Each structure stands twice: as C-alpha cells, then as structure tokens.
C-alpha cells in the first residue's frame, strides 16, 4: 500500500503520510488490514489522524504557498534559460 500510494501529495514539501497527509495513513492501514503491534497502548489509524490533522492542515497552507512560489521561480528560470539559449 505504501509504495502504491506514493507520492502522497504533489507538493514535495508535504511527503509524509503520517504528518502531512494523515488521511493517506488511514486509507493505507484500512486497505491493508494492518494493525497496531504496540502491546501497551494500541492505537487505531483514525486516532492518529485525529491527533495530527489540525497541524497537517496548518502546515498545508504554508507548504502550498512555498511550493507554488518555488514552482513559479523554477518556471521563470526555465524561461530565461530558453530565451538565453535562442
């Protein structure tokens, strides 16, 4: 499931299924019938999701702005390179 679902997000600043895309963790665990092997405190993926989603959403706003800015700069550099080559 992990390999099949990569990349978890097109934004390379948000690569992690646990912290950046917790909905992907829930999906993968449920699809594969995986379960916690923690002896003392078993935790369902939905519980992890509930603990991480607010932080994930806050980071997504920042990361998406940074990613878009980075992509725009990359496009500018590529255009300048092509123009200078011509």
- How far apart are the C-alpha atoms of 60 and 56, rounded to whole Å? 6
In this structure, are residues 45 and 31 in contact, taking their beta carbons and an 8 Å threshold?
no
Domain map of the chain by residue range? 2-85
Tell me the residue length of the chain.
86
- With tokens 């099949």, the residue in question is 4
> In degrees rounded to 5, what are phi and psi of residue 83?
-65, -45
Instruction: Give the mean model confidence (pLDDT) for residues 31-51.
Output: 93
Both structure tokens of 23: 């909905």
DSSP SS3 for 40 = coil
Instruction: Give the mean model confidence (pLDDT) for residues 54-65.
Output: 97
Instruction: Give the mean model confidence (pLDDT) for residues 5-17.
Output: 93
CB neighbour list of residue 20: distance below 8 Å, 6 or more residues apart: 8, 9, 14, 56, 59, 60, 63
What percentage of the chain has pLDDT greater than the value 70? 99
pLDDT (0 to 100) of residue 86: 66
């Amino acid at each position: 499931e992990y390999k099949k679902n990569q990349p978890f997000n097109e934004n390379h600043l948000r690569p992690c299924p646990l912290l950046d895309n917790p909905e992907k963790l829930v999906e993968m665990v449920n699809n594969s019938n995986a379960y916690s092997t923690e002896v003392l405190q078993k935790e369902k993926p939905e519980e992890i999701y509930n603990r991480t989603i607010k932080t994930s959403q806050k980071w997504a706003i920042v990361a998406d702005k940074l990613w878009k800015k980075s992509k725009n700069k990359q496009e500018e550099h590529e255009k300048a390179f092509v123009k200078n080559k011509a």
